[in-house]
Amino acid sequence: MKPRCAKHNRAMRWLPWKRFWVCPLPLCPERSAAAGPAKGKPIRRTQGCRIFADGRVVLRGWLWRVRKLEVYEMDGRCCVQCGLRLDPPGSGAFHEAEIHHIGGRGMHGSKRDDRIFVEGKRNLETRCAYCHRAVKRDFEIKDAK
């Protein structure tokens, strides 16, 4: 049996790509109680970009390279922890900048968010290889406990 819209008392429509029921009338915000797409499934996918229901954005290819350069320029071309002057990310130089996800990427990108600011806080920052490895080691030690 189909669920009914509480506002209009009409049978709701199933949207398989969004994985929830919606009211058939346009501009009605009603959704079923089991609303929201399945965890980890993008609601919109364009070339090089995936947007999820919780607001996360995952970039790939040239869009991710552009985002890395934006973060690199925003941090003044230096490591935010030690202040070492760095070469651009992707340059292949010895002191190449690496972009660190403060919020954590999760296993295989399950929690990955490539936005620079998330809920008013910084999510991406520029680090040198040494500082980036140190942060990763600290994170792994905390997870093991």
Helix (H) or strand (E) holding 137: helix 129-144
Task: With cut-offs at 50, 70 and 90, classify the pLDDT of residue 53.
Answer: confident
Helix (H) or strand (E) holding 140: helix 129-144
Residue 90 vs residues 2, 114, 121, 137: alpha-carbon distances, Å: 52, 17, 25, 23
Side-chain-side CA neighbours of residue 111 (13 Å): 9
Beta bridge partners of 78: 85
Q: Residue 10 has which token pair?
A: 């009409």
Q: How far apart are CA 88 and CA 97, in angstroms?
A: 6
Quick check: 133 pLDDT over 80?
yes
pLDDT, residue 74, reads 93
Beta bridge partners of 117: 122
Q: Mean pLDDT, to the nearest integer, of 80-108?
A: 85
pTM attached to this predicted model: 0.65
Helix (H) or strand (E) holding 69: helix 62-74
Q: Residue 124 has which token pair?
A: 């991406």
Quick check: 106 pLDDT over 70?
no
